[in-house]
C-alpha cells in the first residue's frame, strides 16, 4: 500500500514532539520524585538538644542497646526516655546547656521533642527485633553513627533498598551468614 | 455460556423434593433447596406471592443528598484540598519518647492484664492486651474455667465503649463543671438533710455481681438507714428463680450441665443466644462433634420466634407463647400419666387431679404431629437422668414450676440440673417493688435518688420514672454516657469503664474473679463504688479508696478460707495475675418437690388462649437491654437470625404477615394494654402464628451520638403489672398503618445464585445435602508451599452463629463502622460474616450458619484480575492485599465467588473523634477511601507469632498463632494452623471425613475447610 505522506508529515511534525516531550517530562518528574534527596538521604535536622552520637557511642563507646531499649525485643528501637538520660546526667556534665534543659524537662515529668530523622511510611511494618536477631548490625542501615556529631540519614530507606538486602543480604551485610535472605512477599512488611 | 439458575441446578442434582422444598426420605438435599433469605426463595418458581410481599423492601433507595451538582462541588473541593497539605518534604515531625516507663515496659510490645467485665450480661473474665498504656484488644481468660479463652461479641466490643467520644469527662452540676470534692460534699449534705426531713434515699444499681460491692452497699445502707436499694435489670431470671422457690421451697437457681445432657428440651429459652451464660455454648457444642467420642446430643426446641437455639436444634416446633405453659403441663401429664415415670406417678391423688386438668388436650392443640411428640417423649423417657429441660426466663413462674417437676420426674434434678444458691443483691427488684418506689417518688417521699450504672428512665418506661424524678429534689447519676437518667439528673458523675475499675465477681460457682484496671482512665472518671465509698462519713469510711477496700475484704474474707500457703501479698498478686481464685460456693441442700405447687401450676397453665396476638419482648442479641446502643460495632453486627442491622422491627411469621395483608417494611401499630407502638414489620421464617416479637434495647432517646433514635423502644409496650410476665403479653392487637420504614438486612446482599455452600449429615453418617455440583473444574494451582501453608478449619457443627468472630475481627483489624445508610447499600465492611441458610418449609425451616471470610485460594480469581498487582500470592498460601498499591478497580471483588472482599467507598475513619483513635490496633493499617480490603488470616498475628518464636530461639509450634476469630469463638469452631505440618490440629481436622471446601468444584483451591454440619434427628422422624 502507498504510504500516506500527509499523515506521516503530521506524525513527525506534531505527534512525535508531543510524545517526546511527554516522555521527557515523565522521566524528569519520576527522577525528581525518586531522587535520593527526595528520600531525604542526608537529612540531618537541628535537634532541640545538641546530642552527639559521636561523643556517646563513639568516644565513650556506649552500646546502642543501652539507650535504644526496644531494638532487640520490639518493632521499635525506641527513643530513650528522659529517665534513661538522667541515669547518667544526674551527675555527668550537669553544667552543659543541653543537659540543663534535659534536667528541667525531667523535673517537669516531660520529654524532649526530638526531630524525627528516620521514618518509614505508615503502611510499612518494619520490625527492628527480627533484623537485629538475624545479625544485621545497626550501621548497616543507619551508617556509622559513632562518627556522627549530628544524626544523619545515610540510606534512602526506600523499598528498593529493603528488597536489595532481602534478596542478597549476605552480599550487603559483611560478615553475615552465607545463605541469609529476607522474605520478599508483600505482607512481610505491608498489612 | 448461559447462566445457571436455581431451576437448572434442581434438575441436575439427584435428590427429590416436595413442593415446599422439603426433602423426602433418604435423598440428598439438593443445593437449590437452600435459601439465604425469603428474597432468595422468592426467586424460585412457585413463590411469586412471596416476591410480591417483599418487593419494596428489597429496593435500595438512592441517596437523596447526592445529585450531579453536589457531586461536582465535592470533586472540586477535593481537588483544591489536594494541594493544601503540601509542606517541606524532609520534615518528618517530632518524636516524643516517654518521660519514664514502667518496669519491663517497652514501646511496641504488648502487655497483658487479667481482669473481669462485670457490667456486662454474664460477667466475662478477660485478658486485656495493652499497647503503650492503652487497651487495644480483649480476649477471654484461657485459664478461667468459665471462659476457656473465649469471649463473646459483648466483651469483644467493650473496648469501643472504653474510648467512646461521648463519654462523660467531668462531674457536672446542673450542666456546669464541678470538682469531685464539691460533688461528694453535695451528695452527703443532700442525703443527710433528706433523712432529717424523713424522706428516703433511693439507690438504683444493676444486679450486684461483686461481693465486695455488695458489702459496701450494706455499709452504705446501714450508714444511711433511710436508703432503699432497688436493683434494676430489664432482663432477669426472676420468674425462673421464683418458680424454683415455689417448687422446692428454697431460693436459688438451677444451672444445667450441658456437657452431661444427651437430650435437651428448650421451651423458648435462647440459651445459645441472648439468654445464655458465657460458657453455655462451649459446653453444648462440645457434644455436637461425632469425633469427640461422646454421643451427639439432641436438642428439641419449642419456641415462638426463630432464635439461635431453635436454629441449632435438631427438631424445632414453632408454638405461640401463650400455649407454651399448656405444652409443658401436657408434657408432664404424658410423662407421669401415660409413661408412669418418676415419683409423681405413684401419687394417686396427684395423678387423678392431673388427669382431670389435662382432659382434652392433644398434641394437635400445639400444632404438632403425634408422631413428633411421641418421639420427644420417647427420647426424654429413655434418657432419664441424662436429659435437661429448660424454659425461657420470659415465661411465667408456673412454667418454671412445671420444668422443675419434669426435671425431677425424669431424674435430672441433681444430675444434669444442679441447684445453686444465689447471693442476695443479684436478684432484680420485682415489679411490685418498683411500683412502690415510683409511688414514693410521686408522693414526694424521696429526697435523693442515686443511679449507679443504671438507667431507670429508659429501662422502666412503665413506671414513668422520668416524671417521678421531677418530684425528687436531688438526682445523682453515675454513668458512662449522658443517658436518659443522666439527662434528668442534677448531678452527673462520669463513671469508669470496667477496664478502668477495681472489683470482683462471684457469678461463676466456686470461682471469684478479680477485676483490675488495665489502663489509666482516659479522662478523670471515677468508678461508682469509689463514689459510694466517698459518700460515707469520714468515720464510717473503712479505707480511703475502693482498691484498699477490696483488698481489705479479700484479706478478711477471701484469703483465710482459701487455705493458701503463701502470705496475703503473694496470694493477692497471684489473683491479679491469674484473674481469679478458687472459692467454695455454698452447696444447696437437696429439697423435695412441692406437689400442691405443681398442681397449681398445671391449673394455671391449661387456660385456653384469648383472641389477639402474643407479644414477646426479647433481649436484643446485639444491644442486650440497650446498654450497648452507642456501640457502633454491635449496632452494625447483623442480628444472627433476621440479619437486621441498625434497628429492630416487629418480627412476624409469613402466615401472620399475609393474614394482616402487610408487606415487609410496612408499619404496624402494636397495641398492648394501654400502650401502643408503631414500627415496621419484618417477615421471619419459622415464627409461630399469632405471635409478634420485638427486640428490646432500641429507640434510645439519649443513647449517645450513635445510639440515639436507632430502632424503636419496645419497652414502652410494657405495663406496670406486666402481662403473662414482664416480657410476655397476650391479647395484643396489630393494626396495619400505611407508612413504610426501611429495614436493613444484610443477608439480602450477595445472593447464593443457587450455588451450594452448605454440607450437612446426620450423626449416623447419612449425607443430607451435597455441597458440590457436577462438572467440576480440575484444580489449577501451580503453587508449591515449601515452608508453611496456612489454613483454617471451621466446624459448622460447632458454630452456633453468634457473631463473636465478626466483632473480634472488627476489633483486631480496624474495620470501620459504615452506618445504616451504607449498610443499606450493601457496603458493610465485615471481613468475616455469618451466612445463614434456610432449607425446608417457610413455616419452620431448618437453619445452617456458615462463617464466611476470604478463603485464601491457591488459584485465586481475585489475583488474576488485579491490573496493578495489588493482590498477590504469598509463599505461605495467603492472598495478600497490598493497600498502598490498590487503585480501587474492584475487579477482584467482582471475580470473587465468595463475595468476601470489601471496598472502602468512603473514608470511614476520617471523622474519628478523640479518643476513639486509641481503639485502633497499631499493627494493622487504617485503610482509606478507594481501597479494597479483606480477611488476611490475621497476617499481623502470623508475623508476631514468628517473631516471638524467633526471639525465644525455637521453632514455631502449632497453636502459637491464633487468628482473632479463632480466639474469640465461644465454641472453638475455628482452628487455624499450618496445613503443611502433619502434626498440626488444622491438618488433622482438614482430613476429617466431614471436611469439604466451599465451591470446591471451581478448582480454585480454597485454604478454608469446612466440616459438615451434623444434625441428630430422632430415628423416627425426618428433618
Residue B113 has a pLDDT of 95
Q: Closest by alpha carbon to B890, among B859, B929, B932, B854?
A: B932
Q: Which domain holds residue B964?
A: 750-1015
Q: Do A191 and B923 touch (CB under 8 A)?
A: yes
Residues B152 and B181 in one domain: no
A117 touches chain B (CB under 8 A): yes
Backbone angles phi, psi at B253, to 5 degrees: -120, 165
- As a whole number, mean pLDDT of residues B656-669 equals 90
A33 touches chain B (CB under 8 A): no
DSSP letter assigned to residue B687: P
CA distance A107 to chain B (A): 10
The average confidence (pLDDT) of chain B is: 87
A178 touches chain B (CB under 8 A): no
B951 assigned to some structural domain? yes
Q: How far apart are CA A17 and CA B330, in angstroms?
A: 95
pLDDT > 90 in chain A, percent: 50
Per DSSP, helices labelled H in B559-607 are 559-562, 568-578, 595-605
A133 touches chain B (CB under 8 A): yes
Domain count for chain A, please give it: 1
Q: How far apart are CA A47 and CA B88, in angstroms?
A: 17
Backbone angles phi, psi at B872, to 5 degrees: -135, 165
What sign has the CA pseudo-torsion B538, B542, B543, B545?
negative
CA distance A92 to chain B (A): 19
Q: How far apart are CA B601 and CA B404, in angstroms?
A: 11
What sign has the CA pseudo-torsion B883, B885, B891, B895?
negative
Residues of A in contact with B950 (CB under 8 A): 130, 133
Contact B787, B874 (CB under 8 A): no
Residue B11 has a pLDDT of 30
Three-state secondary structure along B969-1010?
CCCCCEEEEECCCCCCHHHHHHCCCCEECCCHHHCCCCCEEE
Domain count for chain B, please give it: 5
Residues B453 and B325 in one domain: no
Residues B677 and B624 in one domain: yes
Residues of B in contact with A33 (CB under 8 A): none
Q: Do B872 and A75 touch (CB under 8 A)?
A: no
Report the CATH number at residue B683. 2.40.40.20
What are the tens digits of pLDDT across the range B479-530? 999 999 999 999 999 999 999 999 999 888 888 999 999 999 888 999 999 9
Residues of A in contact with B99 (CB under 8 A): 81-83, 105-106, 109-111
B935 assigned to some structural domain? yes
CA distance A77 to chain B (A): 9
B721 touches chain A (CB under 8 A): no
pLDDT over threshold 90, residue B911: no
A6 assigned to some structural domain? no
Q: Do B108 and A109 touch (CB under 8 A)?
A: no
What are the tens digits of pLDDT across the range B189-231? 999 999 999 999 999 999 999 999 999 999 999 999 999 999 9
What are the tens digits of pLDDT across the range B967-1016? 999 999 999 999 999 999 999 999 988 899 998 888 899 999 999 999 99
Q: How far apart are CA B737 and CA B663, in angstroms?
A: 11
Q: How far apart are CA A98 and CA A51, in angstroms?
A: 8
Band (pLDDT 50/70/90 cuts) for residue A10 is confident
Last-in-domain residue among B390, B420, B450: B420
B546 assigned to some structural domain? yes
Residue B16 has a pLDDT of 36
- Cell numbers of A97, please? 546547656
A32 assigned to some structural domain? no
> CB neighbours of B661 closer than 8 A, spacing ≥ 6?
B736
- As a whole number, mean pLDDT of residues B620-643 equals 93
More confident residue, B477 or B840: B477
Q: Which range (B95-104, B347-356, B788-797) has the least confidence?
A: B95-104
Residues of B in contact with A118 (CB under 8 A): 92
Band (pLDDT 50/70/90 cuts) for residue B33 is confident
B97 touches chain A (CB under 8 A): yes
B94 assigned to some structural domain? no
Residue B85 has a pLDDT of 47
Band (pLDDT 50/70/90 cuts) for residue B15 is very low
B577 assigned to some structural domain? yes
Q: Which domain holds residue A127?
A: 53-79+114-188
More confident residue, B892 or B252: B892
B448 assigned to some structural domain? yes
Q: Closest by alpha carbon to B49, among B840, B651, B837, B664?
A: B664
Mean pLDDT is highest, among B98-107, B154-163, B766-775, for: B154-163
> What is the edge-to-edge ordering of all strands in the sheet holding B974-978?
B974-978, B790-795, B1008-1011, B995-996
Q: What is the number of residues in chain B? A: 1023
Cα–Cα distances in angstroms (integers) from residue B779 to residues B787, B862, B873, B1001, in the given order: 21, 16, 16, 8
- Cell numbers of B649, please? 422491627
Residues B498 and B647 in one domain: no
Residues of B in contact with A122 (CB under 8 A): 925
Q: List strand residue ranges (DSSP E) for A17-146, in order.
A: 113-115
Band (pLDDT 50/70/90 cuts) for residue B299 is very high
Per DSSP, helices labelled H in B163-299 are 180-196, 211-223, 238-248, 280-285
Residue B58 has a pLDDT of 47
B816 assigned to some structural domain? yes
Q: How far apart are CA B209 and CA B506, in angstroms?
A: 6
Residue B25 has a pLDDT of 35
pLDDT over threshold 80, residue B156: yes
Contact B40, B58 (CB under 8 A): no
B936 touches chain A (CB under 8 A): yes
- Give chain A's end-to-end CA distance (angstroms, integer): 57
DSSP letter assigned to residue B336: I
Residues B780 and B830 in one domain: yes
Q: Count CB pairs under 8 A between chains A and B.
A: 117
Q: Which range (B149-163, B681-695, B751-765) has the least confidence?
A: B751-765
- Cell numbers of B171, please? 462531674
Residues B826 and B945 in one domain: yes
Residues B809 and B919 in one domain: yes
Last-in-domain residue among B400, B420, B440: B420
Report the CATH number at residue B937. 3.30.70.20
- Give chain B's end-to-end CA distance (angstroms, integer): 37
pLDDT over threshold 50, residue B5: no
Q: How far apart are CA B739 and CA B665, in angstroms?
A: 9
A47 assigned to some structural domain? no
pLDDT over threshold 70, residue B78: no
What sign has the CA pseudo-torsion B280, B121, B306, B372?
positive
What are the tens digits of pLDDT across the range B381-410? 999 999 999 999 999 999 999 999 999 999
Residue B93 has a pLDDT of 86
Rg for chain A, CA atoms, rounded: 24
Exposed (0-12), middle (13-18) or buried (19+): which is B804, by Cβ within 10 Å? buried
B467 assigned to some structural domain? yes
Report the CATH number at residue B311. 3.40.228.10
CA distance B624 to chain A (A): 34
Band (pLDDT 50/70/90 cuts) for residue B9 is very low
Band (pLDDT 50/70/90 cuts) for residue A54 is very high
Band (pLDDT 50/70/90 cuts) for residue B55 is low
A182 touches chain B (CB under 8 A): no
Band (pLDDT 50/70/90 cuts) for residue B53 is low
Residues B140 and B260 in one domain: no
What are the tens digits of pLDDT across the range B244-289? 999 998 877 888 999 999 999 999 999 998 888 878 889 999 999 8
Contact B684, B306 (CB under 8 A): yes
Tell me the β-bridge partners of B933. Answer: B902
A21 assigned to some structural domain? no
Residues B555 and B449 in one domain: yes
pLDDT over threshold 90, residue B611: no
Q: Which range (A178-182, B902-906, B956-960) has the least confidence?
A: A178-182
What are the tens digits of pLDDT across the range B548-602? 999 999 999 999 988 888 899 999 999 999 999 998 877 777 678 888 898 889 8
Q: Do A81 and B883 touch (CB under 8 A)?
A: no
Enter the ipTM.
0.85
Residue B20 has a pLDDT of 37
Exposed (0-12), middle (13-18) or buried (19+): which is A129, by Cβ within 10 Å? buried
Residues B734 and B762 in one domain: no
More confident residue, B74 or B214: B214
Residue A67 has a pLDDT of 92
- As a whole number, mean pLDDT of residues B738-760 equals 78
B785 touches chain A (CB under 8 A): no
A83 touches chain B (CB under 8 A): yes
Residues B736 and B881 in one domain: no
3-state secondary structure of B852: strand
Q: How far apart are CA B211 and CA B214, in angstroms?
A: 5
The average confidence (pLDDT) of chain A is: 88
- As a whole number, mean pLDDT of residues B840-855 equals 93
Contact B527, B495 (CB under 8 A): yes
Report the CATH number at residue B455. 3.40.50.740
Residues B265 and B389 in one domain: yes
Closest residue in B to A72 (Cα–Cα) = B951
Amino acid at each position: 500500500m502507498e504510504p500516506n505522506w500527509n499523515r506521516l508529515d503530521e506524525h513527525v511534525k506534531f505527534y512525535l514532539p508531543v510524545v517526546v516531550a511527554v516522555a521527557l517530562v515523565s522521566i524528569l518528574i519520576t527522577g525528581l520524585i525518586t531522587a535520593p534527596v527526595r528520600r531525604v538521604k542526608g537529612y540531618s535536622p537541628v535537634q532541640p538538644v545538641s546530642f552527639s552520637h559521636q561523643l556517646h557511642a563513639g568516644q565513650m563507646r556506649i552500646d546502642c542497646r543501652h539507650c535504644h531499649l526496644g531494638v532487640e525485643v520490639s518493632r521499635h528501637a525506641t527513643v530513650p526516655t528522659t529517665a534513661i538520660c538522667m541515669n547518667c546526667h544526674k551527675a555527668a556534665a550537669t553544667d552543659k546547656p543541653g543537659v540543663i534543659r534535659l534536667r528541667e524537662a525531667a523535673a517537669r515529668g516531660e520529654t524532649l521533642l526530638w526531630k524525627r530523622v528516620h521514618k518509614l511510611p505508615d503502611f510499612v511494618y518494619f520490625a527492628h527485633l527480627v533484623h537485629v536477631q538475624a545479625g544485621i548490625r545497626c550501621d548497616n542501615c543507619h551508617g556509622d553513627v559513632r562518627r556522627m556529631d549530628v544524626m544523619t540519614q545515610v540510606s534512602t530507606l526506600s523499598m528498593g533498598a529493603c528488597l536489595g538486602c532481602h534478596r542478597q543480604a549476605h552480599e550487603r551485610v559483611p560478615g553475615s551468614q552465607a545463605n541469609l535472605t529476607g522474605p520478599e512477599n508483600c505482607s512481610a512488611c505491608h498489612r | 455460556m448461559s447462566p445457571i439458575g436455581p431451576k437448572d441446578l434442581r434438575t441436575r442434582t439427584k435428590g427429590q423434593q416436595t413442593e415446599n422444598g422439603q426433602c423426602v426420605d433418604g435423598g440428598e438435599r439438593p443445593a437449590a433447596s437452600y435459601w439465604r433469605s425469603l428474597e432468595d426463595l422468592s426467586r424460585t418458581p412457585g413463590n411469586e406471592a412471596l416476591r410480591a410481599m417483599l418487593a419494596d423492601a428489597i429496593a435500595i433507595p438512592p441517596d437523596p443528598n447526592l445529585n450531579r451538582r453536589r457531586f461536582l462541588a465535592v470533586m472540586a473541593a477535593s481537588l483544591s484540598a489536594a494541594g493544601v497539605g503540601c509542606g517541606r518534604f524532609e520534615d518528618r515531625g517530632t518524636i516524643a519518647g516517654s518521660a519514664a516507663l514502667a518496669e519491663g515496659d517497652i514501646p511496641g510490645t504488648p502487655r497483658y492484664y487479667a481482669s473481669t467485665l462485670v457490667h456486662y450480661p454474664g460477667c466475662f473474665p478477660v485478658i486485656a492486651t495493652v499497647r503503650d498504656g492503652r487497651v487495644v484488644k480483649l480476649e477471654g481468660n484461657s485459664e478461667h474455667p468459665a471462659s476457656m479463652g473465649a469471649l463473646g461479641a459483648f466483651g469483644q466490643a467493650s473496648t469501643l465503649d472504653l474510648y467512646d467520644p461521648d463519654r462523660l469527662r467531668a462531674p457536672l452540676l446542673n450542666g456546669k463543671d464541678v470538682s469531685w470534692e464539691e460533688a461528694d460534699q453535695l451528695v452527703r449534705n443532700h442525703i443527710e438533710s433528706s433523712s432529717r426531713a424523713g424522706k428516703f434515699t433511693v439507690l438504683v444499681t444493676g444486679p450486684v455481681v461483686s461481693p465486695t460491692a455488695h458489702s459496701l452497699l450494706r455499709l452504705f445502707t446501714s450508714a444511711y438507714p433511710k436508703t432503699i436499694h432497688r436493683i434494676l435489670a430489664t432482663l432477669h431470671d426472676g420468674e425462673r428463680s421464683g418458680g424454683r422457690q415455689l417448687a422446692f421451697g428454697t431460693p436459688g437457681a438451677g444451672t444445667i450441665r450441658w456437657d452431661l445432657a444427651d437430650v435437651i428440651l428448650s421451651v423458648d429459652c435462647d440459651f445459645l443466644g441472648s439468654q445464655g451464660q458465657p460458657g453455655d455454648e462451649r459446653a453444648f457444642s462440645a457434644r455436637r462433634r461425632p469425633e469427640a467420642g461422646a454421643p451427639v446430643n439432641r436438642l428439641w426446641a419449642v419456641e415462638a420466634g426463630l432464635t439461635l437455639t431453635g436454629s441449632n436444634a435438631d427438631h424445632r416446633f414453632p408454638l405461640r407463647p401463650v400455649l407454651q405453659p399448656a405444652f409443658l403441663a401436657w408434657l408432664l401429664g404424658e410423662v407421669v400419666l401415660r409413661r408412669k415415670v418418676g415419683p409423681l406417678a405413684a401419687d394417686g391423688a396427684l395423678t387423678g387431679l392431673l388427669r382431670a386438668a389435662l382432659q382434652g388436650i392433644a398434641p394437635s392443640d400445639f400444632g404438632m404431629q403425634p408422631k413428633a411428640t411421641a418421639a420427644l417423649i420417647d427420647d426424654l423417657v429413655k434418657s432419664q437422668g441424662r436429659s435437661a429441660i429448660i424454659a425461657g426466663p420470659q415465661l411465667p413462674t408456673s412454667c418454671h414450676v412445671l420444668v422443675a417437676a419434669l426435671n425431677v420426674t425424669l431424674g435430672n434434678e441433681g444430675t444434669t440440673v444442679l441447684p445453686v444458691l444465689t447471693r442476695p443483691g443479684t436478684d432484680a427488684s420485682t415489679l411490685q417493688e418498683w411500683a412502690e418506689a415510683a409511688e414514693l417518688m410521686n408522693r414526694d417521699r424521696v429526697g435523693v435518688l442515686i443511679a449507679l450504672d443504671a438507667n431507670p428512665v429508659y429501662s422502666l418506661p412503665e413506671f414513668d420514672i422520668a416524671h417521678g424524678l421531677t418530684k425528687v429534689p436531688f438526682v445523682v447519676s453515675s454513668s458512662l454516657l449522658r443517658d436518659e437518667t443522666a439527662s434528668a439528673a442534677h448531678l452527673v458523675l462520669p463513671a469508669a469503664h470496667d477496664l478502668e475499675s477495681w472489683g470482683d465477681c462471684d457469678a461463676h460457682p466456686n470461682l471469684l474473679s478479680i477485676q483490675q484496671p488495665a489502663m489509666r482512665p482516659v479522662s478523670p472518671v471515677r468508678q461508682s463504688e469509689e463514689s459510694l465509698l466517698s459518700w460515707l462519713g469520714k468515720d464510717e469510711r473503712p479505707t480511703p479508696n475502693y482498691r484498699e477496700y477490696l483488698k481489705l475484704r479479700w484479706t478478711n474474707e477471701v484469703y483465710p478460707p482459701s487455705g493458701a500457703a503463701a502470705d496475703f501479698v503473694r496470694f493477692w498478686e497471684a489473683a491479679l495475675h491469674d484473674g481469679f481464685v478458687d472459692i467454695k460456693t455454698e452447696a444447696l441442700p437437696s429439697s423435695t418437690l412441692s406437689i400442691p405447687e405443681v398442681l397449681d401450676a398445671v391449673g394455671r397453665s391449661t387456660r385456653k388462649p384469648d383472641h389477639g396476638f402474643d407479644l414477646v419482648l426479647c433481649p436484643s442479641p446485639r444491644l442486650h437491654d440497650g446498654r450497648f446502643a452507642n456501640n457502633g460495632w454491635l449496632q452494625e453486627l447483623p442480628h444472627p437470625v433476621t440479619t437486621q442491622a441498625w434497628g429492630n422491627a416487629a418480627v412476624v411469621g409469613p402466615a401472620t404477615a399475609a393474614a394482616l395483608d402487610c408487606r415487609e417494611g410496612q408499619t404496624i401499630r402494636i397495641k398492648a394494654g394501654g400502650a401502643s407502638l408503631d414500627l415496621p414489620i419484618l417477615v421471619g421464617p419459622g415464627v409461630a402464628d399469632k405471635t409478634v416479637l420485638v427486640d428490646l434495647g432500641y429507640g434510645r432517646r439519649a443513647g449517645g451520638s450513635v445510639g440515639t433514635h436507632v430502632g424503636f423502644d419496645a419497652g414502652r409496650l410494657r405495663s406496670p403489672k406486666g402481662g403473662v410476665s414482664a416480657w410476655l403479653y397476650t391479647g395484643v392487637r396489630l393494626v396495619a398503618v400505611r407508612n413504610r420504614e426501611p429495614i436493613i438486612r444484610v443477608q439480602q446482599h450477595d445472593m447464593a445464585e443457587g450455588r451450594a455452600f452448605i454440607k450437612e449429615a446426620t450423626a449416623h453418617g447419612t449425607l443430607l445435602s451435597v455441597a458440590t455440583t457436577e462438572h467440576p473444574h480440575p484444580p489449577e494451582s501451580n503453587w508449591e508451599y515449601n515452608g508453611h501453608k496456612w489454613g483454617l478449619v471451621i466446624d459448622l457443627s460447632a458454630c452456633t452463629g453468634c457473631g463473636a468472630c465478626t466483632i473480634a475481627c472488627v476489633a483486631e483489624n480496624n474495620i470501620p463502622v459504615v452506618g445504616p445508610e451504607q449498610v443499606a447499600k450493601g457496603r458493610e465492611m465485615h471481613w468475616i460474616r455469618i451466612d445463614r441458610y434456610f432449607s425446608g418449609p417457610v413455616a419452620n425451616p431448618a437453619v445452617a450458619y456458615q462463617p464466611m471470610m476470604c478463603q485464601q485460594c491457591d488459584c485465586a480469581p481475585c489475583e488474576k484480575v488485579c491490573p496493578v498487582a495489588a493482590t498477590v500470592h504469598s509463599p505461605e498460601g495467603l492472598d495478600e492485599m497490598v493497600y498502598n498499591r490498590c487503585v480501587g478497580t474492584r475487579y477482584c471483588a467482582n471475580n470473587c465467588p465468595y463475595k468476601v472482599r470489601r471496598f472502602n467507598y468512603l473514608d470511614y475513619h476520617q471523622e474519628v473523634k478523640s479518643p476513639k483513635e486509641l481503639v485502633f490496633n497499631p499493627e494493622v493499617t487504617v485503610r482509606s477511601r478507594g481501597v479494597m480490603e479483606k480477611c488476611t488470616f490475621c497476617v499481623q498475628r502470623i508475623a508476631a507469632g514468628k517473631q516471638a518464636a524467633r526471639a525465644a530461639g525455637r521453632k514455631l509450634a502449632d497453636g502459637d498463632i491464633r487468628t482473632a476469630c479463632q480466639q474469640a469463638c465461644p465454641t472453638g469452631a475455628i482452628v487455624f494452623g499450618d496445613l503443611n505440618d502433619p502434626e498440626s490440629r488444622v491438618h488433622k481436622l482438614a482430613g476429617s471425613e466431614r471436611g469439604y471446601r466451599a465451591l470446591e468444584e471451581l478448582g480454585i483451591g480454597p485454604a478454608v475447610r469446612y466440616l459438615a454440619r451434623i444434625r441428630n434427628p430422632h430415628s423416627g422422624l425426618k428433618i
